[in-house]
Amino acid sequence: MEGVLVTGTAQADLEGECARCLEDLHDDIVADFQELFVYDGSEAGEDEASRLEGDLLDLEPLLRDAVVLSLPFQPLCRDDCPGLCIECGARLADDPGHQHEEPIDPRWAALQGLTEETEEATGRKPGLIEE
Ligand SMILES: [Zn+2]
Ligand SMILES: [Zn+2]
């Protein structure tokens, strides 16, 4: 096939957020591309072939495809990002020792709320008799 073979490397800034912890991330990506642009008016069989427009060629679709293909499927702030705490949403990478006390049995959770309310209203813990 007659044409111009274009080979190149594109560099782009990647801005996004970590798929696990939603931290903003910035990265560089490098994408290699290669494409044959057939001469304008040549009888190349495929309609989808990239074509020269006179002496010019349009790199944009080629660049876009190359960059999109090199984007990470799940961008991560670091490979071993531990993500977010499922209890409270804290970012675990900032707080490696992060943990919670035993989760409260959902059947008692309502009572816990009551306890806190009582404490707020009376300044003392319910069930505690002060001498
Ligand atoms: Zn992360
Ligand atoms: Zn937590």
Q: What pLDDT, in 10s, does the model give residues 9-43?
A: 999 998 999 999 999 999 899 999 999 998 877 66
Report the percent of the chain where pLDDT is more than 90: 40
For residue 121, report the distance from its CA to the centre of ligand 2, in Å. Answer: 28
Instruction: Collect residues with CB below 5 Å from ion ligand 2.
Output: 85, 87-88, 90
The pLDDT tens digits of the residues spanning 46-103 come to: 667 788 888 898 999 999 999 999 888 889 999 999 999 988 999 999 988 888 887 6
- For residue 74, the one-letter residue type is Q
DSSP 86: T
Ligand having the closest approach to the CA of 100: 2
Higher pLDDT, 79 or 44: 79
In the chain, the amino acid numbered 100 is: H
pLDDT of 122 higher than 90: no
> How much is the average pLDDT of 112-125?
72
Who's near 24: CB < 8 A, 6+ residues apart? 15, 16, 17, 18
Q: How many other CB atoms sit within 10 Å of the CB of residue 78?
A: 12
Domain ranges of the chain: 3-70, 92-122
SS3 state of residue 23: coil
Assign 109 to helix, strand or coil: helix
Which ligand neighbours the alpha carbon of 19 most closely?
1
C-beta separation of 105 from 112 below 8 A = no
Residue 116, pLDDT score: 72
Are the C-beta atoms of 11 and 30 separated by less than 8 Å? yes
Distance 25 CA to ligand 2 centre (A): 22
CA of 57 to the centre of ligand 1 (A): 40
What is the 15 CA–ligand 2 centroid distance (Å)?
27
Alpha carbon distance 118, 111 (integer Å): 10
CA of 95 to the centre of ligand 2 (A): 9
C-alpha angle 47/50/55, rounded to 5°? Answer: 125
Nearest ligand (C-alpha, residue 24): 1
